[in-house]
Amino acid sequence: MGFQHINFVDIEFDDPQILLHKDVIYINGGNPFTLLYYAKKSGADEIIRTLAAQNVIIVGVSAGTLLLGPNINIVDFFTPQMNTMNLKDFKALGVTDKLVFPHYDREDIFKDSTNKTIEEKIVKFESNENCKVTRLNDEEYISILINQAY
């Protein structure tokens, strides 16, 4: 894609200031609770919000997608056992107001004792939370334009 210089930043250990003055920020997957915890603890949350407001391209993958949304409530609904950080506040960065459910096509990773499908669980979540969830399969993506003048 023609990238000339790439920095790998781990917001748990690295200073997130390194994100400033970058043209593209790529936020990878992992545990959404852990990612949210360290984004807030390190100050990366504010830096990412600032960069988004400056129209820097920000790519979120899996947990990275969830981090950019309004909250990670759906993660707590589906996989509360992942909350090893014991987070109580699930408010995410709010770069977008879209609630996204990645891995929609991966029934194998969301099995539980209820034997409900991902779709059945999302419908219940939408009803409980009075919201709309955007469902994304592993090979799908969405583009969201923020702060664009028309």
Domains defined along the chain, listed by start: 22-135 (3.40.50.880)
pLDDT (tens digit per residue) in 31-53: 999 999 999 999 999 999 999 99
Where does residue 110 rank: exposed (0-12), middle (13-18), buried (19+ CB within 10 A)?
middle
Cβ-based neighbours of 149, under 8 Å, separated by 6 or more: none
pLDDT of residue 69: 96
The string over 4-28, giving b where at least 16 C-beta atoms fall within 10 Å of a residue's C-beta and e elsewhere, is: eeeeebebeeeebeebeebeebebe
DSSP code string of 25-53: EEE--S-HHHHHHHHHHHTHHHHHHHHHH
Active site (catalytic) residues: 62, 103
For the CA atoms of 72, 75, 80, 86, the dihedral, rounded to the nearest 10 degrees, stands at -30
DSSP, collapsed to helix, strand or coil, labels residue 114 as: coil
Intervals of the chain under pLDDT 50: 149-150
Distance CA 16, CA 130 (A): 34
pLDDT of residue 147: 57
pLDDT of residue 150: 37
With DSSP H G I counted as helix, E B as strand and the rest as coil, what are the percentages for the chain, rounded to 5?
35, 10, 55
